[in-house]
Chains A and B, each alone.
Chain A
């Protein structure tokens, strides 16, 4: 069975600084998809970034980028130039035939 681990339950970052959220997963599959979702307090869950396992190039979306290490089964999210609006719960998710979410990391942004 696939599992997703996020070892940092809570993190904080100073506004305008960079922060990296960790995610590891376990699977025997070779072709799968990885996602980072953001859930702000009392607001809808939205996609931050998506990575296809067969692509070696790391995905980027504006201030958000990932470090995908397939052999190590690691998928970390880097947020650059952090903004107050980045404060949220971040879920790493693995998908093969269905999506499995990690336990989440609560990110606070300090003004």
Chain B
């Protein structure tokens, strides 16, 4: 199984809502990543987890809160987002250490903040 799944595919939320994005992989990877991607732009790294511990936080605003409950799951909790946070949110996983190996990407969650 070489698949990374993400739910939901699409999400529309108001600025006062709380929602969560979910990501799952069953490849035995111990590094997992969250990226934000705007249209026609490259992915921007947000967070990196290594062995379920947060290893990189790219100065992301606190309205984004990551969580890695186990080695297969990665969540991104969203609260009080701004319209400029509308984007495609990509999850990826790889062997550890992060950065050395190919990353497998999920299809993304298309987030719209109204």
Contact = CB atoms under 8 A, between A and B. Distances in A.
Given A44-B105, A45-B105, A46-B105, A33 B100 contact: yes
Nearest to A92: B42
Interface residues of A, number: 21
Most buried by A among B42, B92, B100: B42
Q: DSSP majority for the B interface?
A: loop
Contacts of B43: 45, 91, 101
Interface in B80-114: 90, 92, 97-100, 102-103, 105-108
Contact of B42 (A43, A46, A103): A103
B45 A47 contact: no
A45 B35 CA distance: 12
Contacts of B90: 45
Main secondary structure of the interface of A (DSSP, over half): strand
Given A44-B106, A44-B107, A47-B103, A102 B98 contact: no
A97 B102 CA distance: 13
Contact of B41 (A45, A98, A103): A103
Contacts of A95: 99-100
A99 interface: yes
Given A44-B106, A44-B107, A96 B99 contact: yes
A78 interface: no
26 contacts: A33-B100, A35-B102, A43-B107, A44-B107, A45-B90, A45-B92, A45-B105, A46-B105, A47-B103, A95-B100, A96-B99, A97-B56, A97-B98, A97-B99, A98-B45, A98-B48, A98-B99, A99-B45, A99-B99, A99-B103, A101-B43, A103-B41, A103-B42, A104-B40, A104-B41, A106-B40
